[in-house]
């Protein structure tokens, strides 16, 4: 994904601004969800890894579902958030901001 889309993904919270824009561009192009589902899962997994690295959290899996658990015990679903972004009802950068406890505008 990084090479094909020429995205600079460095696991920083700021990189999630670019990921949100990529998802927005995909939506604007009118791609059917089924055609981009695996890309969205990959972008959601990337966002989850950003949260893990910035919080010291860990990945949790059960029944084919994946979440990130932060040290404060909260569970986050970045894969679903990526799907929600595609349907214009979510934001990976805001999920990261909320999960890391960062102030508005820092993630």
CA 51 to CA 102: how far, in whole Å? Answer: 11
Asked if residue 105 is part of any domain, the answer here is no
CA 6 to CA 53: how far, in whole Å? Answer: 23
Asked if residue 43 is part of any domain, the answer here is yes
The whole-number pLDDT of residue 107 equals 46
The whole-number pLDDT of residue 2 equals 45
**Residue 48 lies in domain:** 2-100
Asked if residue 107 is part of any domain, the answer here is no
Asked if residue 106 is part of any domain, the answer here is no
Total structural domains in the chain?
1
Identify which of 13, 23, 11, 24 has the alpha carbon closest to the alpha carbon of residue 93.
Answer: 13
Asked if residue 49 is part of any domain, the answer here is yes
Per-residue pLDDT tens digits for 26-52: 999 999 999 999 999 999 999 999 999
The whole-number pLDDT of residue 7 equals 76
């Amino acid at each position: 994904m990084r090479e094909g889309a020429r995205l600079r993904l460095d696991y920083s919270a700021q990189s999630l601004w670019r990921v949100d824009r990529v998802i927005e561009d995909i939506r604007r192009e009118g791609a059917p969800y089924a055609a981009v589902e695996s890309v969205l899962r990959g972008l959601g997994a990337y966002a989850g890894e950003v949260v893990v690295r910035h919080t010291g959290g860990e990945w949790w899996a059960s029944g084919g579902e994946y979440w990130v658990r932060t040290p404060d015990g909260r569970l986050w679903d970045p894969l679903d958030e990526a799907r929600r972004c595609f349907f214009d009802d979510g934001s990976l950068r805001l999920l990261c901001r909320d999960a890391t406890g960062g102030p508005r505008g820092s993630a």
